[in-house]
Chain A
Amino acid sequence: MSTVASTLERPLSKRRQIRLSRRIVSLGGWTLSGLCLLVLSVLMVWILMVVFLRGAGALKWATFTTITQGNGGGLKNAIEGTLVLSIGALLLAVPFGVASGIYAAEYPNSPWAKTIRFLADVLVGVPSIVVGYFGYVAMVQWMGWNFSVAGGSIALAIICLPYICRTTELALRQVSNDLRDAAYSLGANERRVVLGVCLPAAMPAILTGVLLALAVSVGETAPLLYTAGWSNFMWDGHLTKSPIGYLTYAIWTFINEPFASANRLAYAAAFLVTGFVLIINVLARFVLERRARQ
């Protein structure tokens, strides 16, 4: 009480001053926080401009139709390799990821589901190079696969798996319990309810999650360096003992070369990878936004 009284006793001008100082602090706070956001946006735009402007200048029709030759040529082999590796990773990761996601979402209170959820989150945080080195030790050396599509795809699948598990779980959680109750009351068993009712209802969101996992795997480098290797040639169709090229490797290697033609390949690869990743993310956001509004 005494502070209130003393504030009131102070002359009017002094009270104004306090208010003014508080206003200045507040204004300063808003300005600083606005600046933070501005800096982030500017840097984002800067990155996109570097990648897309230089990348667009480097892209030619020949980039898509010729294979890499020394310090030039095209990226046909790398584009094919990225697709092969990513699709291979999804083929491995989707069944397991969706199944674990279903389990985590449909039996949320069981200790095993809690463990799965928690470990999925932990696995997301394991550095991709650790997964890559595990792939090198386990598949390239121990299994004797050498640099190969199988090794690269499995390493990528390990990266994708927790993402798919998580997005599937979140998608199924959005499905209303009324739907489950209705299905059970019609006499459906557990399998029917989950696979026939909940899964179709959540399918758009699950597919969005799979697409996001595809974007992640297209953008990964570290897990592939020592599992898939690199090849200047098109994939020969062997799953093991033959290395394969991919776009992110081209970005990393060719930007360090002193040749303009090699640098152009790096920019073109960056353009393709970033463009693909961004398109998938924007699409996914639109789908999820629309579903959230419904």
Chain B
Amino acid sequence: MKFRAWLALVAGILPVILLAVVLFLAFYSEQAIHFNGWGFVVRNTWNLGNLYMDPITRHGFQVQPGATYGILFLIVGTLLSTFLALLFAVPVGIGAAIFLAEAIPSHLRTWISFFVELLMAIPSVVFGLWGYVVVIPFLSRHLFPLLAATLGRLIPFFAGPTGSGYSLLTASIVLALMIVPIIAATLRDALVSQPVSLREAALGLGATRFEALWKVILPGARKTLIGATFLALGRALGETMAVLMVSGNALNYLPHNIYDPISTMAAFIVSQLDSALQDPTGMAVRSLAEIAFVLAIISVIVNGLARLLLLVWNNGQRTAAV
């Protein structure tokens, strides 16, 4: 066989793995998908049923009496924490990218960018450790009471009780810090590579340097920003360890304010597998696989979309940063 054909064959492992991951989860959770139906995403109860009784047959499936699997609280927790994280991360990412690309001399830029972007390299469990050890005490003692006393008077979602510190807001803040460098790095690259003539034209028309940046250079990088935000979204949706350690792992609970505990789909898989294994019918483990399957599909769609946008808008050039 020709060399090229061999390479093509070996390279095929990437699609095969991606397909294997999705298909395996789909097949494994098939029974759960049938048993749970569409109610899976609208029910707010995850209940393994009575584990001390004999399994019964319901809708043709062996389950424990009283078992219901619904993940509405996980969907709400995932969406809320991701949304809030993006709300923090996008402006900060834009600001940092602007300052790195425009205000810092280029010989310093490399190393300061590198330092900030090292945040991407820090393992997620270390973020979790940091969140658990310092952020939670700091927020629950200082920031949360302050927020509840000020913003809480105006907006119900900010009103107390301020809880233990394991909260939607804590998870969002830690998540935001993890995804900011994705946005900052990608956007900084795009800002630096904008044509100099654009800036010169704007300055020549009498714009200040910031106006040239804000009204001419930044809009030119708008598409990169959207693509990077999608990438960050994908990362935040699937983040596991850090969220697991700071979110409070709420069960069957919808948050009433930003200080309430939540759980996300990714974190829930880790926190529940041990107890799901107690279910002799295996339906609990299969329902967890259904969550993983849904998460896999969502992340493939979000990331695929992000990469496609970046690819099409950058004329086939891939981003070097992330």
Please report A residues at the B interface, Cβ cutoff 8 Å.
22-23, 25-27, 29-30, 32-37, 39-41, 43-44, 46-47, 50-51, 54, 95-96, 99-100, 102-104, 106-107, 112-113, 115-134, 136-138, 142, 158, 161-162, 165, 170, 189-191, 194, 215, 218-222, 225-226, 248, 251-252, 255-256, 266, 270, 273-274, 277-278, 281, 285, 289
Contacts and interface: CB of A to CB of B under 8 A. Distances in A.
B67 interface: no
Contacts, number: 263
Interface stretch (B40-48, B141-149, B194-202, B238-246): B238-246
Given A36-B93, A103-B4, A221-B125, 16 more contacts: A26-B210, A40-B180, A40-B181, A44-B115, A50-B129, A96-B14, A107-B7, A119-B18, A125-B303, A126-B238, A130-B299, A219-B122, A255-B129, A255-B132, A266-B129, A274-B122
A121 B95 contact: no
Contacts of B98: 29, 33, 36
B211 A104 contact: no
B95 A36 contact: yes
B21 A100 contact: no
B14 A161 contact: yes
A221 B125 CA distance: 7
Interface of B: 2-4, 7-8, 10-11, 13-15, 17-18, 20-21, 24-25, 28, 91-96, 98-100, 103, 110, 112, 114-116, 118-119, 121-130, 132-134, 177, 180-181, 184, 208-211, 213-214, 231, 234-235, 237-241, 244-245, 266, 269-270, 273, 288-289, 292, 295-296, 299-300, 302-304, 306-308, 311, 318, 320
A119 B241 contact: no
Contacts of A43: 119, 177
B288 A133 contact: yes
A190 B299 contact: no
Contact of B100 (A37, A119, A133, A162): A37
A119 B129 CA distance: 32
A269 B289 CA distance: 30
A248 B129 CA distance: 10
Contacts of A132: 269
State the 7 A-B residue pairs at the shortest beta-carbon distance, nearest first: A127-B238, A36-B95, A219-B123, A125-B303, A26-B210, A100-B11, A33-B95
A119 B302 contact: no
Nearest to A220: B123
Query: Of B4, B93, B121, B214, which is in contact with the most chain A CB atoms at under 10 Å from its CB?
Result: B121
